[in-house]
Amino acid sequence: MDNARSFFVKHFEIIIIAILVSATTFTLFVVVDKFAFLNFFYIPVLAAAYYLGRTRGVLTGLLAVLLIALFAIINPDFLGDIMQGSPVTSVALWGAFLIVTAWVVGGMYETKTRTLEDLQHAYDGIIEILAKFIDVVDGCTKEHSVRVSELAVCIAHEMELPGPECEHVRVAGLLHDIGKLEVSISVLNKASALTEDEWREMRAHTTKGAELLSPVGAVLRDVIPIVLHHHEFFDGGGYTGVAGRDIPIGARILAVADAYDSMITDRPYRAGKHPWQALAEVEDKSGTQFDPNVVEAFTRIHRSRMQFA
């Protein structure tokens, strides 16, 4: 639906004109009951109102009326022999109903759009609040979720993922560490090496994160697998052993963004690496820990950023 809408919006004028001219020509030369076939013009008008709102819907309706009026002027007998009363009056009434319909449908579309925008703003706000809360809990990774999300989205765009998938990556980046809310603070902020039990608790944050997000339902349906698998290795050596293309593409992207930001960030037990050192380590683990295609996209972004830094 999103791709269809984007295509329609991008080529709106050409599509509408082509439909209207084709319909008018078909009506003139093929259809016997020409007046009945005029209802076909509701299709492009309603499509314009539904996809683009009231103004474009009404303009499309006016264009349809003008085309019919033009053909009626060129051919005075057009519609006249199959209408009772005045053809002008009949066409005028038809055109009025067409435009009113576009006005009503377009208004309904704009109301729905405003409601969806309000819900989207609320959704974005809640996600950002959660991300900040997560980073506060894990004190040594301040703003980590925001940085990971931004980098992951850049990689997704560089790989030319569709818009909805880029949005899933963005949200997953903000929420990927939500499972750490159920990891003890002592483990999260420990300055020394973790014990085996502590590592087991830390590794469980991906599963716990997915469990925390699951009750939200369809809203985060495509985000949960990314959160669940963002610590998998491309060769299968990660948290659960999922490997290669079985790992969601969003999780493969997030794995690179998360690892890179962790490497360049200072921690209580070590200083952060220089960005070039972190890049070299990511590239060195291409094909083992990371998806080579993701690493290539990340490398292009990183070199471009450093070039203009």
Q: Which residue has the higher pLDDT, 93 or 209?
A: 209
Q: Cβ(232)–Cβ(209) under 8 Å?
A: no
Band (pLDDT 50/70/90 cuts) for residue 61 is: confident
Question: Reduced to 3 states, what is the DSSP secondary structure of residue 189?
Answer: coil
Question: What secondary structure letter does DSSP report for 238?
Answer: S
Question: Reduced to 3 states, what is the DSSP secondary structure of residue 159?
Answer: coil
Enter the pTM of the model: 0.65
If you write DSSP's letter for every residue of 88-132 in order, what string do you get? HHHHHHHHHHHHHHHHHHHHHHHHHHHHHHHHHHHHHHHHHHHHH
85: tokens are 């009363």
Structural domains of the chain, ranges and CATH numbers in brackets: 2-113 (no CATH), 138-308 (1.10.3210.10)
Predicted pLDDT of residue 229: 95
Distance CA 200, CA 105 (A): 56
Predicted pLDDT of residue 82: 46
User: Is the confidence at residue 57, as pLDDT, over 80?
Assistant: yes
What are the residues whose beta carbons fall under 8 Å from the beta carbon of 118, sequence distance 6 or more? none
